[in-house]
Each structure stands twice: as C-alpha cells, then as structure tokens.
Structure 1
Amino acid sequence: MNLKYEVLPDDKIKICKDLCNELMVFQKSKAYLKPELFDNMNYETRLVPSVNKAIHNYTVVVKDDDQIVAYVYSNISPKETYDNEFATFFDMSTVSKDNVACLSQFYIKEDYRQYGIGSKLFNKSMEWIKRFDDIEDYFIYVSNGNNDALEFYKRKGFSVSHDILDGFITVLRNKKQ
C-alpha cells in the first residue's frame, strides 16, 4: 500500500462521488430500520448540499497510488441547518452558539479497514474542528445498523445523545474540551 492523505478544496469534492455513493449503499445494507430512506441518498442529495450550506468544509481523501480508498467530510454549519424537512437533528435550545461542527461523512473501502486509516482521518477532522474557537458542540450521526461506527466514535470520546427518526439515526455528541 502506498497511502497518501490529501485535503480537498471544495471545488474538487466531485472526486468523492463514487465513494459517497458507495457509503449510501453500505449504510442501506446495514440498516434494519427504514432502509428505503437510503434510496434517494447519494452524492448529489447528501454531499453537495451539505458543502453548499456549510460555512466551512473540510474533506480529506486517502489515495492508494491514484485510487481513492477513503474519505472524511466535516463541516462547520449554522445550527439551523440541522432543523430541516428531513428531521430535527438536535434540540436547538441545547446549543448556545450559532454554529456547530459535524463529522458528516466517513467511509473506508472494506479492503482498507483495520489499518488505522479511520483513526487518522478522525484525528485530522477533530484537529480541524478544534481550530474554531466559536464552536462548542460537535455532532456525528450514525445510521441504524452501523454498530462498528457507533462503537468507534464512542471509543473516540463521543457519547450517544439521542435517536432521531424513530431510531433511524443515532446522534452522538461531544463538547469542546
């Protein structure tokens, strides 16, 4: 393996399209509640709108030679972004600042799991998020059935806050330390 980590500018996120679509298929395959909700989720409906609505974006891809094998996307967004037609992701009154941080998408191709790539991408995202002095609340949303991801984030210091959409998504939360 010849792994390289590369931070992408927003105008280059299209190279994540295939992996983002693969993430949605993976999440659907794990889901035991409402898997059909993933039918309309893809790069155009998830990643592009999130990047466009955010104040700041941070995308890191991992390449093995020229093949993209993993990515993480995090953002800083107005808290109101997470109260939309799909769901209300958290109680707005529990967030004192105007903006929140979200580790929004995270995917590693199966053959590349268990090599520490996930921890490295997670750490890069958290280092980026912590640069913002005006952010106190960090969120991660895990789809039902993805217990490996849920346990990974708990080991990294996040706590389960609540479920939304009748358990379709588990909300994890952490506060700035």
Structure 2
Amino acid sequence: MNFTFEVLPEDKMDYVRESCNELMAFQKSVATITPELFDDMSFETRLIPSVDKAIHNYTVVVKDGNQIVGYVYSNVSPKETYSNEFATFFDLSSVQKANVGCLSQFYIKDGYRKFGIGSRLYTMSMDWLNQFDEIDDIFIFVSNGNSNALEFYKRKGFTVSHDILGGFITVLRNK
C-alpha cells in the first residue's frame, strides 16, 4: 500500500462525493437509534451545505495509489450554524467566541483502518483548526452506534459533552 495525503481545494470537493455517501451508509448501518434519519443524508445534503456555511474549510483525502480510501473534513463556522431546523448541537452561550471549529466528517474505508491513517488525518485536522485564534471551542459529533469513533476521539483527548436528538448524536468537545 502506498498512501498519499492530499489537501483538497474547495472547488474539488466533488472528489469526496462517493466517500461521503459511503460514510452516510456506514453510519446508517451501525445506528441503533433512528437509523432512518440517514435516509436523507448525502454529499449534497450534508457536506455541501457545511462547506457553504463555513468561514474556513479543510478537506484531506488519503489515497492508495489513485483510489481515495478515506477523507476528513473540518471547518470553522459561526456558532449559530449549529442551531438549525435539524437540531441545536450545543448550548450557544457556552461558547464565548463567535466561531467554533468542527471536525465534521471522517471516513476510512473498511480494510484501510488500523494503518495509522486515522491518527494522521486527525492530527492534520487538529493542526489546521488550532491555527485559528478566532476559535477556542472544537466540536466533534459522533453518530450513535459508532463506538469505535467515539473511543478514538476520547483517546485523543476529547470529552463527551452531551447527547442530542435522543442519543442519535454524541457531542464531544475539546474542553
């Protein structure tokens, strides 16, 4: 295996369409609480709106040869972005600054986990997010049933803040 990591410019987001849709299917497959909520989630309904609402976007793909085998998408967005018709993801008054960071999507294809790809993508995202003085708070939202991801982020120092939507999403926070 020959892994390469590539930062995608915003005009190349379409490169992760298939991987993003695979992520949504994976999340539905492991969900134990209202998996049907994933039926309307896709590249067009989750990733593109996130990119459009963000102030700063960062996407890294990992390839094995020419095949994309994983990606991470992080952003810096106004905190109000996380209170919408779907849910209020955190108590907005608990965030002092106007903007927050979010490690928003993270996916590695089955068969490519356990090679250190996740740790490298995570580190790249945190290094990117930590360069912004305009944010103090970084959030990660883990869908129910994805206990491996939840434990991964805990090992990296994030703590569980709370659950939303009756446990459909666990909110993790950097402090």
TM-score range, shorter chain: over 0.9
Structure 2 counterpart of 1:156 = 156
1:110 aligned counterpart, secondary structure: coil
Deviation of 1:134 after TM superposition, in Å, equals 1.5
Separation in 2 of the partners of 1:23 and 1:13? 15
Summarize deviations over 1:34-73 as a string: whole Å, max 9, x none.
0000000000000000000000000000011110000000
Structure 2 counterpart of 1:102 = 102
User: What letter matches 1:126 in structure 2?
Assistant: M
Gaps of 5+ in 2: none
2:114 aligned counterpart, secondary structure: coil
User: What letter matches 2:38 in structure 1?
Assistant: F
User: Superposition RMSD on alpha carbons, in Å?
Assistant: 0.4
2:86 aligned counterpart, secondary structure: coil
What number of residue pairs does the alignment pair up?
Answer: 175
Structure 1 counterpart of 2:169 = 169
Instruction: Indicate the percent of aligned positions where both proteins have the same amino acid.
Output: 71
Summarize deviations over 1:106-155 as a string: whole Å, max 9, x none.
00001100000000000000000000011100000000000000000000
Structure 1 counterpart of 2:14 = 14
Query: Are 2:57 and 1:53 equivalent residues in the alignment?
Result: no
Listed as ranges, the matches of 1:66-77 within 5 Å are 66-77=66-77
Listed as ranges, the matches of 1:60-139 within 5 Å are 60-139=60-139
Runs of 4+ in structure 1 off by over 4 angstroms are none
Separation in 2 of the partners of 1:52 and 1:134? 19
Deviation of 1:84 after TM superposition, in Å, equals 0.2
Summarize deviations over 1:147-166 as a string: whole Å, max 9, x none.
00000000000000000001
Gaps of 5+ in 1: none
Structure 1 counterpart of 2:40 = 40
1:19 aligned counterpart, secondary structure: helix
2:60 aligned counterpart, secondary structure: strand
Separation in 1 of the partners of 2:118 and 2:63? 13
